């Protein structure tokens, strides 16, 4: 985990910009330092620049501005065969004329690894992706998900220091995907491999990573360990992109240190934690996670804020209940309650009071 890592920078992006057409910047000002052995995930909407960053780190694209360093050396000065980077890209191109075993053996031959060693490593890598039986086939004789698993094995077979993976599990079903998530993180941590991983799947990002970089519009919006990212989003993009989030609009009335007073648009005044707001009169978007809202307000501490709500919809989801409420003039306020023995099943039309602690209520940019 993060605190075992040495503090030396292994991967560094310094003020990196990228334009493909000499006009529009698709990567705007990227600064990122990764210690050796870190598992970092890039998460963000389509077109936000994730693949472009991986391509620059691999040395396949050059940065328009700034510098990318690997172990202190500019990537532009390291010849491709010396980069020691394992890669799985969105289009997992296997060599079509080689068998699966030959595909995996190839990166080992290039590195002059002896035959018996090669065979052992190929077997281990294929077993890891549950493809041990398929060594003799050619890529065209495999399904898409099987090819993807072979591409993953081929990227890891030579135990590279740095692995770049661009949605490597996209073509797999849920069960296999979860198995592979577990295998990849274990292997990366066991071998001390530094990993940059790209995914669209939030759960994957939160469960696999030491840190997650949330991308939007060519910039990192927040870079943080999963729990900090989910519980302490620094701006409204991150709050709304990661996990489910309730928002209420209002205006800042008072700010002092760790708290602020916000007048919601329906007139109600609440306490919140000022996160990405700076002055009185500013518009703000209040963010509260559904699981931090209580319907049994007695369970909250003395500083809790309570507010009236009307039940609009009750959704039974098995392990939890998801209830939609009208709160402060908005009708998309969600709460989640556990399906425990004594849990209330709210009915549409019911008038209730809900509450939360001010520290869970974050005042962000509107």
Among 41, 52, 195, 235, binds ligand ATP (CB under 6 A): 52
Question: Binding to ligand ATP by residue 62, rule CB under 6 A?
Answer: no
C-alpha to C-alpha distance for 54 and 197, rounded to whole angstroms: 9
Contacted entry of ligand ATP, Mg ion, none for residue 52, CB cut-off 5 to 8 Å set by kind: ligand ATP
Taking CB under 6 A as the criterion, which residues in 21-40 touch ligand ATP?
Answer: 26
Tell me phi and psi for residue 194, to 5 degrees: -85, 130
Residues 6+ apart with CB under 8 A from 120: none
Residues found near Mg ion in the complex (CB under 5 A): 51
By a kind-dependent CB cut-off of 5 to 8 A, residue 46 interacts, out of ligand ATP, Mg ion, none, with ligand ATP
Strand partners, 308: 353
Task: Compute how many other C-beta atoms are within 10 angstroms of the C-beta atom of residue 313.
Answer: 12
Among 30, 40, 43, 50, the residue binding ligand ATP under the rule CB under 6 A is 50
Distance CA 358, CA 5 (A): 35
- Report in angstroms how near the CB of residue 197 gets to Mg ion at its nearest: 12
51 binds ligand ATP (CB under 6 A): yes
Which of ligand ATP, Mg ion, none binds 107 (CB below 5-8 Å, type-dependent)? none
- Which residue stretches of the chain are H helix? 50-58, 100-110, 115-128, 144-156, 174-191, 202-208, 226-231, 236-241
Q: Which two tokens stand for residue 291?
A: 């699981």
222 binds, among ligand ATP, Mg ion, none (CB under 5 to 8 A by kind): none
Tell me how far, at minimum, the Cβ of 27 lies from Mg ion, in Å: 12
Beta carbon of residue 164, minimum distance to ligand ATP (angstroms, whole number): 12
Q: Is the CB of 242 or the CB of 288 nearer to ligand ATP?
A: 242
| Close Cβ partners of 228 (under 8 Å, ≥ 6 residues apart) | none
> Whose Cβ is closer to Mg ion: residue 166's or residue 210's?
166
Nearest Cα neighbor of 303 from 248, 252, 259 is: 259
**Residue ranges binding ligand ATP (CB under 6 A):** 20, 26, 44, 46-52
């Amino acid at each position: 985990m993060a605190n075992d890592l040495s503090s030396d920078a292994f991967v560094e992006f310094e003020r990196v910009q990228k334009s493909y057409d000499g006009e529009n910047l698709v990567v705007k000002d990227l600064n990122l330092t990764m210690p050796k052995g870190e598992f970092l995930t890039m998460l963000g909407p389509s077109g936000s620049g994730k693949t472009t960053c991986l391509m620059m780190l691999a040395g396949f694209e050059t940065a328009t501005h700034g510098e990318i360093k690997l172990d202190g050396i500019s990537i532009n000065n390291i010849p491709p065969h010396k980069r020691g980077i394992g890669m799985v890209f969105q289009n997992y191109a296997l060599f079509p004329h080689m068998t699966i075993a030959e595909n995996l053996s190839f990166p080992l031959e290039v590195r002059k690894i002896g035959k018996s060693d090669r065979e052992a490593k190929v077997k281990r890598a294929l077993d890891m992706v549950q493809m041990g039986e398929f060594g003799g086939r050619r890529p065209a004789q495999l399904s898409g998900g099987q090819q993807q698993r072979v591409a993953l094995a081929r990227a890891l077979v030579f135990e590279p220091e740095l692995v770049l993976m661009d949605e490597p599990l996209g073509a797999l079903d849920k069960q296999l995907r979860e198995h592979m998530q577990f295998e990849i993180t274990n292997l990366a941590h066991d071998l001390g491999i530094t990993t940059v991983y790209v995914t669209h799947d939030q759960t994957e990002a939160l469960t696999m990573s030491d840190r997650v970089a949330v991308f939007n519009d060519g910039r990192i919006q927040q870079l943080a360990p999963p729990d900090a990212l989910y519980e302490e989003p620094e701006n409204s993009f991150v709050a709304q992109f990661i996990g489910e989030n309730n928002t209420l609009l209002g205006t800042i009335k008072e700010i002092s240190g760790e708290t602020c007073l916000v007048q919601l648009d329906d007139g109600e005044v609440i306490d919140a934690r000022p996160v990405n707001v700076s002055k009185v009169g500013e518009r703000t978007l209040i963010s509260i996670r559904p699981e931090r809202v209580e319907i049994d307000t007695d369970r909250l501490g003395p500083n809790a804020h309570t507010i009236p709500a009307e039940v609009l919809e009750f959704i039974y989801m098995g392990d939890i209940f998801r209830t939609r409420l009208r709160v402060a003039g908005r009708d998309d306020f969600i709460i989640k309650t556990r399906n425990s023995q004594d849990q209330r099943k709210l009915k549409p039309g019911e008038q209730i009071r809900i509450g939360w602690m001010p520290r869970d209520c974050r005042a962000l940019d509107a």
